[in-house]
């Protein structure tokens, strides 16, 4: 993991480093060229600059490490007000956030419950005393710091203090490289992935029942030969918790509203750019109070993937301009180069000009009457 590195003499030279913005929806340390600091408080640490707006994408990418899947939690956070420093250091911060692997830093591997013991017994002190955390504490010291620079707030300085998922002895402590993790939950990510969570939330949003979601998931896992990753262990309780979370939301759908989750946005970016977007306007129109329209992208096998849903009444079918700019803004917030090749519409009544203007289609908009998806 120590590739793409060079040396620098002083921390004071960090503003001469390039700001790196990898062309991926999510990216990790492997996509960045790191510089190792010599001397000072950060001596030996790896550093890099990225846009502050992409810190979340970096955290997600680091959590998707194939060898050591893990969530990075916020261990500590500090903020300063603008104008609070007269002479800020070159690495002075407006915001300081320490991210730590969720399998550390405490180590309770020697205290794992034996047969007959209560697995929910909490350690006496420390952050591991939180319910549900003890089984995850395996002494991992992988952590990094993110500073939103005081003098350049649009830039984030990443200081990777320890890039390997190891314990204090330097040995792997979770993931596929840890022999003690084989056959245990520590071999997998501590929680279901954000991608699966957003996918399930999307299904719940459109009224698919809990039982149907779980049954579909089980069938998919069996079709692929059984469980291999943490997501394969999705339980009814996982789905029920997400369902309860949705029910607690106070927002209401307007008759011209929409839904595009992070999972859908990622697939819109991945398959919509240079591809085809289909506007499916007749989805469940006879069962719902308002018409549910779907925007679909197509993967490499030409499977249709719903990348956005729009709730609209039949009397407002011409009002694409009400929701399209918001969707385009959200897409271009991740990738300004995003542009579909063409949009396919199944209803000749729709005014298609907003699609051409909003999506900047290369080949234009095509109307296909009786489109079957």
Arithmetic mean of pLDDT over the chain: 76
Share of the chain above pLDDT 70, in %: 68
**pLDDT recorded at residue 41:** 57
- CA angle centred on 333, ends 331 and 335, rounded to 5°: 70
Share of the chain above pLDDT 90, in %: 18
In sequence order, which residues have a C-beta less than 8 Å from that of residue 322 and are 6 or more positions away? 256, 316
Most confident of 149-153, 173-177, 219-223, 325-329: 149-153
**pLDDT recorded at residue 256:** 42
Q: What is the pLDDT of residues 190-222, one digit of tens each?
A: 667 777 888 888 888 777 889 999 998 888 888
Q: Are 302 and 285 in contact (CB under 8 A)?
A: no
Q: Are 331 and 269 in contact (CB under 8 A)?
A: yes
Radius of gyration of the chain measured on its C-alpha atoms: 24
Q: Does pLDDT of 32 surpass 90?
A: yes
Q: What is the pLDDT of residues 36-72, one digit of tens each?
A: 887 555 557 899 999 999 999 999 899 887 778 888 9
Candidates 157, 166, 172, 171; CA nearest to 46 is 157
Q: Could you list the beta-strand ranges (E) of 217-328.
A: 257-259, 276-283, 291-298, 304-312
Most confident of 39-43, 248-252, 353-357: 353-357
- CA angle centred on 352, ends 279 and 349, rounded to 5°: 80
Q: What is the pLDDT of residues 80-125, one digit of tens each?
A: 888 888 888 888 899 999 999 988 888 887 765 433 344 444 444 4
Most confident of 20-29, 30-39, 191-200, 360-369: 20-29
Q: Does pLDDT of 9 surpass 60?
A: no
In sequence order, which residues have a C-beta less than 8 Å from that of residue 60 and are 6 or more positions away? 26, 194
Q: Does pLDDT of 163 surpass 50?
A: yes
Six-digit token string for 241: 């918790």
Among 158-172, 292-306, 311-325, 350-364, whose mean pLDDT is lowest?
Answer: 311-325
Plot region of 364 (φ>0 → left; ψ -120 to 50 → alpha; else → beta): left
Tell me what the mean pLDDT of segment 347-373 comes to. Answer: 62
Helix H or strand E segment including 196 = helix 194-205
Round to whole Å and give the CA distance between 134 and 121: 9
Q: Identify which has the larger pLDDT, 130 or 111.
A: 111
Q: What is the pLDDT of residues 264-273, one digit of tens each?
A: 888 889 998 8
| Residue 340, preceding peptide bond in cis (omega within 30° of 0) | no
Q: What is the pLDDT of residues 144-158, one digit of tens each?
A: 999 999 989 999 999
Q: What is the pLDDT of residues 291-323, one digit of tens each?
A: 677 888 998 888 888 888 776 654 444 556 667
Per DSSP, the three-state class of 204 is helix
DSSP letters for 328-345: HHHHHTT-TT---SEEEE
**pLDDT recorded at residue 33:** 93
What are phi and psi for residue 284, nearest 5 degrees?
55, 35
**pLDDT recorded at residue 20:** 95
Q: Does pLDDT of 176 surpass 60?
A: yes
Q: Are 6 and 36 in contact (CB under 8 A)?
A: yes
Residue 353: Cβ-neighbour burial (10 angstroms; 0-12, 13-18, 19+): exposed
Round to whole Å and give the CA distance between 258 and 164: 41
Six-digit token string for 246: 């949705």
**pLDDT recorded at residue 78:** 94
């Amino acid at each position: 993991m120590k590739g793409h590195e060079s040396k620098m003499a002083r921390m004071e030279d960090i503003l001469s480093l390039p700001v790196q913005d990898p062309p991926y929806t999510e990216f990790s340390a492997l996509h960045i060229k790191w510089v190792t600091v010599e001397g000072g408080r950060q001596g030996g640490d790896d550093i890099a600059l990225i846009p502050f707006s992409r810190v979340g994408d970096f955290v997600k990418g680091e959590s998707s490490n194939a060898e050591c899947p893990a969530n990075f939690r916020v261990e500590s956070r500090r903020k300063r007000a603008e104008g609070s420093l007269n002479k800020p250091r070159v690495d002075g911060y407006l915001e300081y956030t320490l991210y730590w692997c969720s399998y550390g830093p405490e180590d309770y591997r020697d205290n794992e419950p034996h047969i007959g013991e209560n697995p929910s017994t909490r350690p006496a002190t420390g952050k591991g005393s939180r319910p549900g955390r003890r089984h995850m504490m395996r002494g991992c010291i992988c952590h990094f710091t993110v500073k939103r620079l005081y003098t350049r707030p649009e830039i984030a300085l990443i200081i990777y203090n320890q890039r390997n998922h190891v314990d204090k002895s330097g040995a792997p402590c979770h993931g596929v490289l840890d022999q003690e993790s084989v056959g245990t939950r520590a071999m997998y990510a501590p929680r279901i992935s954000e991608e699966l969570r957003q996918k399930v939330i999307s299904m719940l949003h459109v009224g698919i029942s809990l039982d149907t979601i779980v049954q579909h998931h089980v069938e998919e896992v069996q079709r692929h030969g059984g469980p291999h990753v943490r997501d394969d262990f999705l339980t009814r309780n996982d789905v029920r918790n997400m369902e309860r979370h949705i029910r607690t939301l106070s927002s209401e759908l307007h008759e011209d509203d929409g839904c595009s989750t992070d999972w859908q946005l990622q697939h819109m970016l991945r398959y919509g750019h240079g591809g085809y977007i289909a506007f499916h306007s007749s989805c469940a129109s006879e069962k719902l109070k308002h018409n549910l329209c779907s925007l679909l992208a197509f993967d490499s096998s030409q499977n249709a993937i719903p990348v956005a849903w729009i709730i609209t009444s039949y009397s407002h079918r011409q009002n694409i301009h009400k929701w399209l700019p918001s969707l385009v803004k959200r897409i271009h917030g991740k990738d300004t180069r995003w542009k579909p090749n063409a949009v396919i519409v199944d209803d000749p009544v729709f005014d298609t000009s907003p699609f051409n203007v909003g999506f900047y289609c290369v080949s234009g908009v095509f109307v296909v009457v009786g489109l079957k998806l």
